[in-house]
Amino acid sequence: MRKQIAAANWKMNNTLEEGTKLLNDIINSNIQVNNHKCVIFAVPFPYLVSANQQLDNKSNMFVAAQNCHYKAAGAYTGEVSVDMLASINIHYCVVGHSERREYFLESNQLLAEKVDRCLSTDITPIFCCGEPLAIREDDSQNDYVAVQLKESLFHLDIEAIQKVVIAYEPIWAIGTGKTATSAQAQEMHAHIRAVLANQFGNAIADNISILYGGSVKGANANEIFSQPDVDGGLVGGASLIATEFIQIIKALK
């Protein structure tokens, strides 16, 4: 069975005190995460070390960075390299979130370099894709997402692609309270899997976890995650509330 993943994306939220309490509330709920599941917390850079310490010994729970730089090292003031992340035991990194694509002009080509950089240090990229509203209204979302996958992931070999987690996040559903229907999510996830199968083969595509993101909450997680090609979620707003995120973890298949 593919790994089922609940990934929290805190974005630029929480002070250290707030974040520490949030994580503690989730850990102290004694939620069990068995081996075919995984819970990931993408926290702001200043909290990576302390969040990792808090999660110490919690099986199948990990901390992720929300971003990394595409170069190995050098004169890039304010940036964070994958070697820095690896050196503090971070094994996941969100790559190409739509907010980074939009506000920081990250292109598919640049994201291909970030994916490579992550994989060079054994960091699993959580690669985000998804269409804006105008593309959905034009009904060209399938082609749009296929180009994102092609330009950022198709250069990988069969071994490397298996280390990637994909998050489909329709931009019109992020932070808007407007979730894709479970049928829309399933349709796109099946399409993404077919695009991957076409390039890398069925067996490989069948093993890649594809998360849905965009207004996932405790109340809708069960229905969305129950779709056959949806392997969990990347969660923003609802991951900032312990009870909500616990409910989302419980909704994993």
Selected binder of ligand PGA within 6, 216, 221, 224 (CB under 6 A)? 216
CB of 115 to ligand PGA, least distance (A): 18
Query: Is residue 210 a contact residue for ligand PGA (CB under 6 A)?
Result: no
Tell me which residue has tokens 């998804």: 130
State which residue, 13 or 20, has the beta carbon closest to ligand PGA. Answer: 13
Q: At what angle do helices 218-225 and 242-250 cross, to 10 degrees?
A: 20
Does 169 qualify as catalytic in the annotation? Answer: yes
CB of 169 to ligand PGA, least distance (A): 6
Query: Is residue 44 a contact residue for ligand PGA (CB under 6 A)?
Result: no
Q: How far apart are CA 48 and CA 88, in angstroms?
A: 8
Q: Say if strands 210-213 and 124-129 run parallel, antiparallel, or are unpaired.
A: unpaired
- Residue 41 forms beta bridges with which residues? 8, 63
Query: Is residue 236 a contact residue for ligand PGA (CB under 6 A)?
Result: yes
Q: How far apart are CA 253 and CA 243, in angstroms?
A: 18
Write the binding mask 122 to 161 for ligand PGA: x where contact by CB under 6 A, - elsewhere: ----------------------------------------
CB of 11 to ligand PGA, least distance (A): 7
CB of 214 to ligand PGA, least distance (A): 5
Does 189 qualify as catalytic in the annotation? Answer: no
- Among candidate residues 99, 169, 189, 191, the one labeled active-site is 169
**Exposed e or buried b per residue across 6-30, where buried means at least 16 C-beta atoms within 10 angstroms of its C-beta:** bbbbbbeebeeeebeebbeebeeee
DSSP string, 70-109: SSSSSS-TT---HHHHHHTT--EEEE--HHHHHHS---HH
Q: Which residues are catalytic?
A: 97, 169
Binding residues (CB under 6 A) for ligand PGA: these are 9, 169, 174-175, 213-216, 234-238
